[in-house]
Structure 1
Amino acid sequence: MKKILVTGGLGYIGSHTVVALQKAGYETIIVDNLSNSSLNVLGGIARITNVSPTFERLDLRYKAEVVDFFKRHSDIEGVIHFAASKAVGESVEKPLYYYENNIHTLVYVLQECVAHGIENIIFSSSCTVYGQPETLPITETAPTQAAASPYGNTKQISEEILIDTCAVENMNAISLRYFNPIGAHKSAEIGELPIGVPQNLVPYITQTAAGIREKLSVFGDDYDTPDGSCIRDYIHVMDLAEAHVVALERLLDNKNEEKYEMFNVGTGRGSSVFEVIEAFEKGTGENLDYSVVDRRPGDVTAVYADTSKANKVLGWKARRTMEEALASAWKWEQKVRNS
């Protein structure tokens, strides 16, 4: 079995991708500093796949520890790099932390990949690289606008680092620019469980429905959208996880047409905050208490994907519905609160 390193592999998207990798027959090794994740996720992955992945607690900001790790695991054949901080609002408040955590870690991982002849990396990018888009839906050829947040800027810079590295080193990379992942594994063994106050919409919805949060805040209802709330492309996390496996196999099978490629990963449909709230209430029968508050710094008005490139070139397409995603998120929330 080919060994794949998954950085940030106990996080929300990382853990679901580990499940998809192990189901596809890969051996996984996870590194995570547990800053926004839990060791309990390892058990969930093992119960789903009947395989317990190798895990090392490691903070990739410390170069000496990264060097030591790769010396001990030089047989890795591919890397999927998730390890990063990911909250837009928090990045506005703590820009230096985001630049250190998101950029230094990528540089250190790439340096060791080059040193040990590891040629393939999948990068966890984001639709935030597009800034406030000029036209919708967004294609991969859309010009990147000035980033609306330090978080978005770290993704833009990281992609530039990958482009420059691939140009001069024996390195192949694919950036997956994904949109808004939601939902949980259908088993409810793993899901999104943010530490502290949720920064993303759906876990805040489920925590409000579960009585953990008193009220859901809708950040602005005066955007230039049909109902005034922000529009996003919400994709089931397992569809997103499976896209990582397909992209990795493209590199491992030498099917990439360029040393650096990028793909949008979304559903191609935009949904407003109010539409997501309505869908959750309709699907679960739960009534949400919410109020409109001021806009949140760094939020763009509307973002949703043109996914035709991923559909055609990768042969990947989102298959699960928003209703499935919201139902799985609620099932996960209920299990967490009742365990």
Structure 2
Amino acid sequence: MEAGGGGAEEEEEQVMSEVHLGCPPYFSGLHVSRFSFSSRPLGSSGGDDGDGSSGSVLIAATSGSCGSPDAVAVDEDGDLVLDRKRRRNKHARSDYHLLTIQHGVTSSLKSVGLQVWKAALLLADFVLHKSFTSSNFDGVTAIEVGAGTDRGADILDNCLANVHNNSGTLKFDEAKVCVRELDWKMSWPPPVGTYDPSYPSLRYLWSADDIEEAEKATVLFAADVIYSDDLTDLFFDTVKKLMSSGAKKVLYLALEKRYNFSLDELDVVANGYTHFRSFFATQEERGDAVDRDEPGLVGRQIDPAEVPQYIREYERGKDLEIWEIEYSPEQKLQ
């Protein structure tokens, strides 16, 4: 798959992330949602906790995650959806922040990179938790590997806009965040071009310095990239090449298991997930890893219960997972 525009895309079936269910239906173009978090996760004790036990009131949902001041949310039966608004009191902490995300409300499968998916919010919770409780991510160079469909000026422009929209809130230097096009179908390193931010066609090309910096990275992030076996193949091919180049790297990958009815097995199965798991061994399976088609990658599933929820505007559900995957150098790539 690859991102693309034109009339053919308009005829394709549209998909919608559960994260955007409160957004205006049939909304065309890009929408803005606001996601709130603080340094205290939901359900923590004291002050205004996440379960609403400290003076919360019910109001008609006029913003929710979509942040649209004139949107009123209703369910499929047309009944008004109520949201909780927390009443400030003298004991409440004032460390709440808003992430402003510009996104598509629906998209074709080719452009799902324009939407926000639940696995990305779980990954954000993981990063927030590490940042609040440890120094693991202090000063690191990290690469967000993307979703395979994050190609084309429209999606990359949107990524760049979201970097700009949140630089003030998160207090980071925009100049240190680079948005580049990474086509999983092309071998690493990507071709070097003449980067020029004033021209759309040259805005997302890699320079030699970019590639050198990427190979020095120690952390890779990816969210919701497991939904197509073909893309999973390309993803792991790219990841292996990145992880075997330059500094030692660790990949943190969040996903949502997706189930379909299989005629072969006459059951509802997560075939895409099974294919994903074939690319690496756990520590327990490591003894058999040399017999796998893709040796060298070792993974550990992180219990979501170890990752408190900081971002309020989503429900995790039981099908979200997060994995820590490393490249084991003593097992050589075939």
| Structure with the bigger percentage of helix | 1
Q: Shorter-chain TM-score category?
A: 0.3 to 0.5
TM-score (norm 2): 0.36
